[in-house]
Structure 1
Amino acid sequence: MNCTLRRLLPLSVLSATLAAVSIMPAGAQPLDRIAVVVNDGVILESEIAIATQQATEQIRTRDVTPPPPDALRRQVLDRLIMVRVQTQRAEMAGIRIDDRELNEVLTNLAQENDMSLSQFADALRSQGTDYLTVREQIRDELAINRIRGREVEGRINVSENDIDIHLAQQEGRADDAEYRLQHILIGLRDGISPDERNEELARIESIRERIVDGGESFEAVAIAESDGQQALDGGDLGMRPAEALPAAFEEAAASLEVGEVSDVIDAGGGFHLVKLIERKGGDQRQNVDETRARHILIQPNAIRSDEESRTLARELHQRILDGESLAELAAEYSDDPGSKNNEGDLGFNPPGALVPQFQERMDALEPGEISEPFSTQFGWHIVEVVDRRTRDVTELAKRARARNAIQNRRAAEEYDSWARRLRAEAYVEYRIEGDKPPEDDEDAT
């Protein structure tokens, strides 16, 4: 869980927390009036104040000048509303992140920062950060990740034919090309009139002129102007394989020099600008060392204790040393249903395919060698290395990358559509003058 936590949301409030920022001055009193009603929930003015301070500090850590307060507040409020409608959706779907799971994630997070959980909590408090608020922010992120997996990613299927078509389209392009892009989106709502569309087009063209001709920072403009999910991150999409980018972005990136800004891209329900920050790429073969092994597994059960299992494993090991075949003993004694009928044969496996304790013992053996009995969470093992080989998995890896790219691309597109739909269907009532977007001036969404 800890390895994915930083990616749960594109604009995670966690990033600011981990940057060790101070959220509110010591002694400050939160403003508890209701700022926005979202369906059957609310967003308080104090929440906006905290999130705005987080965003400000996060922007400053990147040496970017924060946008004007009203522009930053709009971006922060948009994010809070999107978080709220998604957590409400998760709650409706019966998704609950209990304290046990939350504590496990927080413990892993603390360990990533070389702290215990109590030290992590104390560090936050020493900076003026409410630890309980951070807990709930992370709980929300986990819930959103769970509902996104269920309602978006879990419904995406990639067929072998999809992969074949994708690879055919990639013919002639550099394998493993990767791009880091910054992105500005001016979104177009459903039902927009031609005149309004032209106004938005003129707006993004003006934004491009400010950046290209006027010398404004792309990152700062993205923070102030973009409707994209990564706006408060300066529009940074991170390093991605070319094939994982939207097709229009991939085409634009391939033609850009590092530091260059694209022309306006009309795609996916909005107007886009992308800036190329970094490019990597090149053809290379991929080889993997695989090991073929046999083993005997002796598991404790209702009538055999762990110590009795260990004793039996030692007896079998001695019989093998005395000349009996591990394959024959595996067929008679092994408790591993997957290999028992194959005389304990596990086939060829690449590094990391087996549990770490087993992998470590197996890797220490030469072909023909047999291990001493050892334990894993599955029971007691005796392993024999039968053979090793180096295999060219370039094509397999290429198809795996293609599958992941298609999956990620479709997931990103579906997630944006899903999130916009939740937002459009939500009842949102602004209670503070000036917060209501222009298109909502007449009626609350």
Structure 2
Amino acid sequence: MKKLLASLLVGAFLIAPAYAQQLAPIDGIAVVVDEDVILQSELDRAVANIRSQYAGRTEQLPPPGVLERQVAERLVLLKLQVARAKSTGVRVSDQEVDQTIGAIAAQNQMNVDQLTAQLARDGTSMPQFRDSIRDELLVQRLRQRLAQTQISVSDAEVDAALAAQQGAGSQYHLAHILVALPEGATPEQIATAQSKIEGVRDLIQRGEMDFAAAAVRYSDSPNALEGGDLGWRSADEIPSAFADMVKGMRPGQVTEPIRGPSGFQLLQVVESRDAAQAGPSLVTQYQASHILIRADDPANVAKAKAKADTLHARLVGGADFAALARENSEDPSSKSRGGDLGWFTQDQFGPDFGSQVAALSDGGISAPFRTQAGWHIVKRTGSRQADVGDESQRAQIRETIGRRKLEDEWNRFLREMRGEAFVDFRTGAADAEQADSTTNGN
């Protein structure tokens, strides 16, 4: 949860200044995105935010027109994701936004009033910040929905990954540069992209620019402004096209250009290290039952909450939990068992659900609380320390494979969504690629 909140806070401070349409005076349109627009003032504030993050090292930033185009593309993608989330029924309530903001304030050792004051000093109003948090949560839920509906990992894949891990214990800190290609690229577009990626590699090889600076200036990846950083990855988290190549590289080395599904890439091994050998894996497990009242339709949220409150009052009055769950729960997987969920770890059903269970004592019943699934009442019946050993290792590998698949599918989804959208740049950013196309070593 802390990692998520930190990520939301960083994203919010980057994006929030760009979302003040309702507060800003009428100004020029920078980009038309389907039926929405990005105002020039939004784009200017977002660019200024990036420049402030690079204070003291602005030489790493691309020329103004290229930077404006990169930031504009980020805003375009954000608008498209938010619009897609809303059109597919994803919703974020005011209460959920309030809870997230409260948690962010607490994580930064502030109350909400202090956070509001800090935002104002940074040039962001609380309404802007709330909008950015809501957008981040919408995108997060859109990604979760994609994971639930499109991503699966078979036992055979887990077995193969376990076998591949035998004798391999290295992790790699990676960075990449992407020169993107559109779907159905023409031979001319392919040749141009290949020439550009080769030119970028020549600049790096000659020492005229380090890898991170080249990524900021030339990469088409969404993480370009972070220097193309991909973080630490184990061998099974690296796409098979790169894995064998990476294993033979030393820190600082850069691959030859590689053609992938999204375009041409350069990959750098920043660092490498030996992963710690797995030992006994002790985790806290909980046994609990729950009653779920779904609230998928925003119009029924209040009705679902009222029903949950009524059931909770009956439980406080001595009603049998299992009987009420069988009669009223809308979770088909546990309803027939009186709501019994068996033994599970705290994060197995999501952080919101897990934190409620962890806060109870054995035998305790929670007040109604809401998650993305609906309103829950939970009765905790037991807790224990368990050595999950091989089970834990398999779960970690399954999660790793799923995360890699989701990353690939999400990137494909974003490319497809961007390719289908009507996007009209009304600023100098539209000519940025031409202004910075001389990357053939000149």
TM-score tier (shorter)? 0.7 to 0.9
Counterpart of 1:429 (choices 399, 403, 424) is: 424
Q: 1: distance between equivalents of 2:12 and 2:55?
A: 16
Deviations 1:116-138 (A, max 9, x none): 11111111102222332222122
Report the CA distance between 1:431 and its aligned residue.
Answer: 2.3
Question: How do 1:190-269 and structure 2 match up within 5 A?
Answer: 190-269=183-262
Conserved 8 A contact 2:102-2:112: yes
Conserved 8 A contact 1:75-1:224: no
Report the CA distance between 1:235 and its aligned residue.
Answer: 0.8
Question: What residue in structure 2 maps to residue 270 of structure 1?
Answer: 263
Conserved 8 A contact 1:2-1:105: no
Conserved 8 A contact 1:287-1:390: no
| Counterpart amino acid of residue 411 in structure 1 | L
Q: 2: distance between equivalents of 1:50 and 1:269?
A: 30
The TM-score with structure 2 as length reference comes to 0.73
Report the CA distance between 1:429 and its aligned residue.
Answer: 1.8
Structure 1 pair 98–351 and aligned structure 2 pair: CA distance change class (3 A): closer
Structure 1 pair 134–165 and aligned structure 2 pair: CA distance change class (3 A): same
Q: 2: distance between equivalents of 1:432 and 1:118?
A: 38
Q: 2: distance between equivalents of 1:403 and 1:42?
A: 40
Report the CA distance between 1:173 and its aligned residue.
Answer: 4.8
The TM-score with structure 1 as length reference comes to 0.72
| Counterpart amino acid of residue 85 in structure 2 | A
Q: 2: distance between equivalents of 1:253 and 1:289?
A: 33
Question: What residue in structure 1 maps to residue 12 of structure 2?
Answer: 14
Report the CA distance between 1:216 and its aligned residue.
Answer: 0.8
1:51 aligns with 2:39: no
Counterpart of 1:112 (choices 107, 126, 132) is: 107
1:80 aligns with 2:78: no
Whose RCO is larger (CA < 8 A, sep 6+)? 2
Report the CA distance between 1:435 and its aligned residue.
Answer: 1.9
Question: What residue in structure 2 maps to residue 143 of structure 1?
Answer: 138
Question: What residue in structure 2 maps to residue 69 of structure 1?
Answer: 64
Conserved 8 A contact 2:105-2:115: yes
Question: How do 1:139-178 and structure 2 match up within 5 A?
Answer: 139-168=134-163, 170-175=164-169, 177-178=170-171
Structure 1 pair 123–215 and aligned structure 2 pair: CA distance change class (3 A): same
Report the CA distance between 1:3 and its aligned residue.
Answer: 3.6
Deviations 1:243-284 (A, max 9, x none): 222223333332222222222222223111122222232352
| Counterpart amino acid of residue 260 in structure 1 | Q
Deviations 1:68-112 (A, max 9, x none): 111111100111111111111112112232222111111111111
| Counterpart amino acid of residue 250 in structure 2 | E
Q: 2: distance between equivalents of 1:46 and 1:216?
A: 32
Structure 1 pair 426–76 and aligned structure 2 pair: CA distance change class (3 A): same
Structure 1 pair 78–304 and aligned structure 2 pair: CA distance change class (3 A): closer
Q: 2: distance between equivalents of 1:164 and 1:421?
A: 32
Larger Rg: 1
Question: What residue in structure 2 maps to residue 317 of structure 1?
Answer: none
Question: What residue in structure 1 maps to residue 4 of structure 2?
Answer: 4
Structure 1 pair 418–221 and aligned structure 2 pair: CA distance change class (3 A): same
Q: 2: distance between equivalents of 1:223 and 1:214?
A: 16
Report the CA distance between 1:156 and its aligned residue.
Answer: 0.8
Report the CA distance between 1:414 and its aligned residue.
Answer: 0.7
Q: 2: distance between equivalents of 1:293 and 1:75?
A: 46
Moved more, 280-289 or 49-58: 280-289
1:407 aligns with 2:407: no
Q: 1: distance between equivalents of 2:261 and 2:184?
A: 14
Q: 2: distance between equivalents of 1:304 and 1:152?
A: 35
Structure 1 pair 74–252 and aligned structure 2 pair: CA distance change class (3 A): farther
Counterpart of 1:285 (choices 259, 264, 278) is: 278
1:123 aligns with 2:123: no
Deviations 1:32-73 (A, max 9, x none): 111111111011001110110111122337786322111111
Q: Secondary structure at the match of 2:250?
A: coil
Question: What residue in structure 1 maps to residue 297 of structure 2?
Answer: none
- Mark the runs of 5 or more structure 2 residues left unpaired by the alignment: 19-23, 289-310, 327-340, 367-376, 435-442
Paired residue total:
384
Q: 2: distance between equivalents of 1:184 and 1:58?
A: 20
Q: Secondary structure at the match of 2:281?
A: strand
Conserved 8 A contact 1:106-1:117: yes
Structure 1 pair 153–236 and aligned structure 2 pair: CA distance change class (3 A): farther
| Counterpart amino acid of residue 12 in structure 2 | L
Report the CA distance between 1:398 and its aligned residue.
Answer: 2.8
Structure 1 pair 356–402 and aligned structure 2 pair: CA distance change class (3 A): closer
Conserved 8 A contact 2:285-2:345: no
Counterpart of 1:185 (choices 175, 178, 195) is: 178
Q: Secondary structure at the match of 2:251?
A: coil
Conserved 8 A contact 1:292-1:349: yes
Q: 2: distance between equivalents of 1:246 and 1:196?
A: 25
Structure 1 pair 135–243 and aligned structure 2 pair: CA distance change class (3 A): same
| Counterpart amino acid of residue 244 in structure 1 | E
Deviations 1:186-219 (A, max 9, x none): 0111222223312211211110111121341221
| Counterpart amino acid of residue 233 in structure 2 | R
Deviations 1:365-412 (A, max 9, x none): xxxxxxxx97453899897x9xx987471x323322221121111111
Structure 1 pair 62–174 and aligned structure 2 pair: CA distance change class (3 A): farther
| Counterpart amino acid of residue 141 in structure 2 | R
Q: 1: distance between equivalents of 2:416 and 2:425?
A: 19
| Counterpart amino acid of residue 4 in structure 1 | L
| Counterpart amino acid of residue 214 in structure 1 | G
Q: 2: distance between equivalents of 1:143 and 1:100?
A: 14
